[in-house]
Structure 1
Amino acid sequence: MVQPTSPVANSAALLAWYDRSARVLPWRARPGETVDPYRVWLSEVMLQQTTVAAVAPYFLRFVERWPTIEALAAAPVDAVTGAWAGLGYYARARNLHACAKLVAEWRHGRFPEDEESLRKLPGIGDYTAAAIAAIAFGRKAVVVDGNVERVMARLFAVTDPLPGAKAHLKALAAALTPEVRPGDYAQAVMDLGATVCTPKSPACGICPWMEPCQARRLGIAAGLPAKAEKAPRPTRHGIAFWLIRPDGAVLLRRRPPHGLLGGMMEVPGTEWRDGLWSLDEAAAHAPLAAEWRPLPGRVAHTFTHFHLELAVATAKAGPRAAARGIWCPLDNLGDQALPTLMRKVVRHALAKAY
């Protein structure tokens, strides 16, 4: 295998390209601006397994509502999870709030600057710790996300499939990470992967690493990184119960604090399982005994590891019905910390039950 040019030459060429072509992002400090560690941390947590386009409006709303980590720490956790609704992976929102409280209350609003200390904070793993250390504090750290893995796989023509090749790709990325401007370098590699060395149809002709790129020389860039074949996602099933009081309020409940959608609000329902539920069977899991009526259609949603299909049944409750949960007026549903799945259930029920 022909090796790329020296790490120093590679990092210098990439940084020169970044100085000309860096993306303008709402959390990124522009030339001459002081980097705000709060904004770096907030954006990196939001960007975990989520796209820049999806994150940008959420980020702007968060910093407008909570401009400092102290403000975020002082907010009720339900307000934070409610503002997060739609971004997915809701444990991130709970960890975000827990981390804000810890940094605000125990560290006087200052983040630690080294990776080891950062990893001890809630919701901060290896990648996020490296990104904060490099971008916010100028520490030399190896920042590897999906974009960086793709760039390294092509630059060094690594044909071993992911996820098995992750450690190798990180070692290659470490060899290229410079002592000078490590934060800019980390963002430069991610920008390169996002805008030039893209998953499909990479623009090799304008790439600052065109010459040393071994995959380009071999004509295999578009096929890298190789990925192991994924097992098909199974489909699970459940029934949600849309219970309405005479005053129009709807019953909601809070999910357990841990696990999928932990701590979020939901329309009560059955557990999710492989087999379909009959309404008679599911009635034992309803919030109260009532004349439950199935609504036409189903709510479909896809999680990382499985598809979910929910049927929705509706019933009317008496004015003093005793059911565990909270009664929420229809006009206030938008203020609840409902995840995307439950917002789909609400829309379905509103369209079919009235």
Structure 2
Amino acid sequence: MSAVFQQLVAWQRQHGRRGLPWQQSADPYRVWLSEIMLQQTQVATVIGYYERFLAAFPDVEALAVAPVDAVLALWSGLGYYARARNLHRAAQQVVALGGFPRTPEGLQALPGVGPSTAHAIAAFSWGAPVAILDGNVKRWLARWLALDADLSQKPVHEQLWQQAQALVPADASHAEMVAYTQACMDLGNLRCIRRQPRCDDCPLQSSCAAHAQGLQQQLPRPKVRKTQPERAVALWVCLWRDQVCLQQRPMQGLWGGLWCLPEYAGDGEIAALSGAVPLQHLPAFTHVFTHFRLQISPCLSAWPEAAPPPLDGRWFALPDALQLGLPQPIRKILQATAAMQQDFRLQSEA
């Protein structure tokens, strides 16, 4: 077991990812922020968000006192928005506690911090000799063990946790834990990838049971894909005096706390509300969530009356609207609308 630990430490120092912005400090605020952002999100996507977020909220105190709208606005486009709301709540808890808890158990008490995230924060920040078990680690560990089982099952998950922790020496140094924890992530991301694993470049090839048995392509056992249910919604892009109406969603639930266009079951409802004002149907598209697919049909109209239409919500100039916390599909629609307005102005001036 200690040989595996040392092999991964040595491999990471030579071949693993270094120079990422969150690797430059053991500050638990920066470590925690990066770990939350990296949940179910690629490193390349996170880097820009991480840097912009730190520029706006350089420490946990600044984040704790910020309006949640400002937090959501900077998170806009990163997805899984419960992470942003939990981040804001957790920052307030950390300030109330006087600092970050230094144990995995204390870190898990923060909103949005699960066992693997808590262990990663503790290992990177203080060198705690604890294992992580994210999706990348599950994959290479299941192959290393030649574990032919459904990894989502609780007993299997617990077995993987035990095996992962058994690889970590209790007397590992802080520097070793930083390198090892990063190696665990990098191995699954750079070598032991989901399809066509790069076994020839893997530091654990000689001890990998799946490789010895020629099972690296079959393991871990793939999840059974379920057919995703579909929903449909019509969205009204209602312009009045070059402003657009947006509604803020409740904090709990889908797109919680974000600003969205008024939505209806179908464009017939929008036509009834707009009356004689003509509707322009923008291109429909599908947005895929974790558990369902949403068919989105946007309708655009320009309200000509002196008074705005009877819509619940707030009116924003389009440039201001695009600075708000918006779900990615709403941002896509508003950007297209702004481009159409600009093209119309250019044509008029010509």
Q: Under a length normalisation based on structure 2, what TM-score does the superposition of the two structures give?
A: 0.89
The within-5 A match list for 1:53-68 is 53-68=44-59
CA-to-partner distance for each residue in 1:86-137, whole Å, 9 max, x for gaps?
Answer: 1100111111111112212x133x2101111111112112221111112112
The unaligned stretches of length 5 or more in structure 2 are 345-350
Structure 2 partner of 1:273: none
Letter in 2 for 1:159: D
Structure 1 partner of 2:328: 340
Structure 1 partner of 2:105: 116
User: Does residue 254 of structure 2 align to residue 254 of structure 1?
Assistant: no
User: Does residue 93 of structure 2 align to residue 102 of structure 1?
Assistant: yes
User: Does residue 42 of structure 2 align to residue 51 of structure 1?
Assistant: yes
User: Does residue 146 of structure 2 align to residue 136 of structure 1?
Assistant: no
- CA distance in structure 1 between the aligned counterparts of 2:201 and 2:37, rounded to whole angstroms: 30
The within-5 A match list for 1:161-200 is 161-164=150-153, 165-179=156-170, 180=172, 181-200=176-195
Percent identity over the alignment is 39
- CA distance in structure 2 between the aligned counterparts of 1:116 and 1:17, rounded to whole angstroms: 30
CA-to-partner distance for each residue in 1:40-84, whole Å, 9 max, x for gaps?
Answer: 100000011111111111111111222211222232211111110
CA-to-partner distance for each residue in 1:295-338, whole Å, 9 max, x for gaps?
Answer: 14213211111111111223333333243211000221221111
- CA distance in structure 2 between the aligned counterparts of 1:227 and 1:289, rounded to whole angstroms: 52
- CA distance in structure 1 between the aligned counterparts of 2:178 and 2:89, rounded to whole angstroms: 26
Q: Is the 8 A contact 1:299 1:345 kept in 2?
A: no
The within-5 A match list for 1:165-244 is 165-179=156-170, 180=172, 181-244=176-239
Residue 92 of structure 2 aligns to a residue whose secondary structure is helix
- CA distance in structure 2 between the aligned counterparts of 1:11 and 1:149, rounded to whole angstroms: 16
Q: Is the 8 A contact 1:295 1:352 kept in 2?
A: no
Residue 223 of structure 1 aligns to a residue whose secondary structure is coil
The unaligned stretches of length 5 or more in structure 1 are 1-6, 271-276
Q: Is the 8 A contact 2:318 2:338 kept in 1?
A: no
Q: 1:347 to 1:26 in 2, by over 3 A?
A: same
The within-5 A match list for 1:10-49 is 10-24=4-18, 25-29=20-24, 35-49=26-40
Root-mean-square deviation (Å): 2.1
Number of equivalent positions = 333
Residue 335 of structure 1 aligns to a residue whose secondary structure is coil
Q: Under a length normalisation based on structure 1, what TM-score does the superposition of the two structures give?
A: 0.88
Following TM superposition, by how much is the alpha carbon of 1:294 offset from its aligned partner in structure 2, in angstroms?
4.6
Point out the more displaced range, 80-89 or 167-176: 167-176
- CA distance in structure 1 between the aligned counterparts of 2:192 and 2:127, rounded to whole angstroms: 25
Greater share of helix: 2
CA-to-partner distance for each residue in 1:126-154, whole Å, 9 max, x for gaps?
Answer: 22111111211211222111110011011
Structure 2 partner of 1:80: 71
Point out the more displaced range, 164-173 or 120-129: 164-173
Following TM superposition, by how much is the alpha carbon of 1:237 offset from its aligned partner in structure 2, in angstroms?
0.3
Letter in 2 for 1:299: F
Q: Is the 8 A contact 2:100 2:107 kept in 1?
A: yes
- CA distance in structure 2 between the aligned counterparts of 1:296 and 1:36, rounded to whole angstroms: 47
Point out the more displaced range, 327-336 or 43-52: 327-336
Structure 1 partner of 2:307: 320
Q: Is the 8 A contact 2:243 2:316 kept in 1?
A: yes
